[in-house]
């Protein structure tokens, strides 16, 4: 009985699923384009960084390389998330999107540490052969590439943590490149070579700020914490508002992927309801949850005459 009811529920939301697929296709194309654009630019930037001896350019190249890696990880996770569930992976590979976000944040943190060490050394012992003009030109190209890439993700950024991460990353990249452009111009006209190391450190602080929120969000998801945009008491209130529900307890909410959330809960319904009416109440609860970012709800019914003991629950 319940199984059939579930099927009906999914059917009523066919439109939502269709929307998600098209959003995923848009994201797919954006990620591929972003990887290609930024990949080429990293090579150019790294060569120019070594040629001009600019630590700021090399820091930015390291940062952009981190972006390419994160875009590639996210794309792989998107592909895996669409793999159908199997006997051994009953949820499919949705969780890979969370692992990708976490891995990305960890890699960036390590890169920041290494580049930070070099930048401090450079600030203390500046090089006097930096070609500021060339640094400014290369970083200027970076602004264009980053803004173009960010634009690719703009449409889809609210649907998924990885897409939002990519979008914010690319926007900060454009700002970072702007900083490097300014430092290049200033160095060219003033010979303040120490500025290269200083700008490099500022670049790294900016990246760290962005990475920190990605790290904490993905770590929370990995530990099955309640997703950041969901409040337990609000969800409880939504369930209790449904006609026929007496109380709700033993509720758990967690992220199945960066886009989908799951819930399990025990409901106590009005005793006077018939079996069919109770099924209708469960259907209504799931319907309300679906529209409040809980896409997979598993609900167990209880009777007031036979409440479950804590061991069973």
Instruction: Give the chain's domains with CATH numbers.
Output: 17-222 (1.20.1510.10), 232-302 (3.30.70.1350)
Over residues 98-116, mean pLDDT? 84
Spell out the residues 6+ positions from residue 88 whose beta carbon is closer than 8 angstroms to its own: none
Q: Is the pLDDT of residue 311 over 80?
A: no
Does residue 308 surpass a pLDDT of 70?
no
The pLDDT tens digits for 22-71 are: 566 766 788 898 899 999 999 999 999 888 888 888 888 877 887 788 78
Characterize 26-59 residue by residue with b for buried, 16 or more Cβ atoms within 10 angstroms of its Cβ, and e for exposed.
bbeebbeebbebbbebbeebbebbeebbbbbbbb
Give the Cα separation of 249 and 87 in Å (integer). 30
Answer yes or no: is pLDDT of 18 > 70: no
Q: Which residues contact 137 (CB under 8 A, 6 or more apart)?
A: 184
> Residues 268, 239: contact at Cβ < 8 Å?
no
Q: What is the pLDDT of residue 19?
A: 45
* pLDDT for residue 306 is more than 70: no
Q: What is the per-residue pLDDT for 160?
A: 73
Which residues, in sequence order, are CB contacts of 99 under 8 Å at separation 6+?
77, 222
CA atoms within 13 A on the CB side of 70: 30
Q: What is the pTM of this model?
A: 0.70
pLDDT given for residue 44 in this prediction = 92
Q: What is the pLDDT of residues 83-105, one digit of tens each?
A: 889 999 998 888 888 888 888 88
H or E stretch covering 231: none
Question: Confidence class of residue 1 from pLDDT cuts 50, 70 and 90?
Answer: very low
């Amino acid at each position: 009985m319940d199984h059939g009811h579930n099927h009906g529920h999914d059917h009523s939301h066919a439109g939502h699923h269709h929307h998600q697929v098209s959003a995923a296709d848009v994201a797919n194309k954006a990620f591929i384009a972003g990887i290609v654009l930024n990949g080429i630019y990293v090579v150019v930037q790294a060569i120019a960084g070594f040629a001009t001896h600019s630590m700021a350019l090399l820091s930015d190249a390291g940062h952009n390389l981190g972006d390419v890696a994160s875009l590639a990880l996210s794309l792989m996770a998107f592909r895996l998330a669409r793999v159908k569930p199997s006997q051994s992976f009953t949820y499919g590979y949705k969780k890979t999107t969370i692992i990708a976000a976490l891995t990305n944040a960890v890699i960036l943190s390590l890169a920041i540490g290494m580049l930070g060490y070099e930048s401090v050394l450079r600030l203390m012992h500046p090089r006097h052969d930096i070609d500021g003009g060339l640094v400014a030109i290369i970083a200027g190209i970076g602004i264009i590439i980053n803004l173009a890439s960010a634009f690719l993700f703009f449409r889809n950024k609210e649907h998924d943590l990885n897409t939002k991460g990519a979008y914010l990353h690319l926007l900060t990249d454009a700002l970072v490149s702007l900083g490097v452009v300014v430092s290049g111009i200033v160095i060219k006209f003033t010979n303040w070579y120490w500025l290269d190391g200083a700008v490099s450190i500022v670049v790294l602080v900016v990246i760290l700020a962005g990475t920190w929120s990605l790290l904490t969000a993905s770590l929370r998801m990995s530990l099955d914490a309640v997703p950041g945009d969901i409040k337990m008491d609000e969800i409880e209130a939504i369930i209790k508002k449904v006609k026929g529900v007496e109380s709700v307890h033993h509720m758990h909410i967690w992220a199945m992927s960066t886009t989908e959330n799951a819930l399990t809960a025990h409901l106590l319904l009005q005793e006077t309801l018939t079996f069919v009416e109770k099924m209708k109440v469960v259907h209504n609860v799931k319907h309300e949850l679906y529209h409040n970012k809980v896409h997979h709800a598993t609900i167990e019914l209880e009777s007031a005459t036979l409440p479950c003991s804590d061991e069973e629950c």
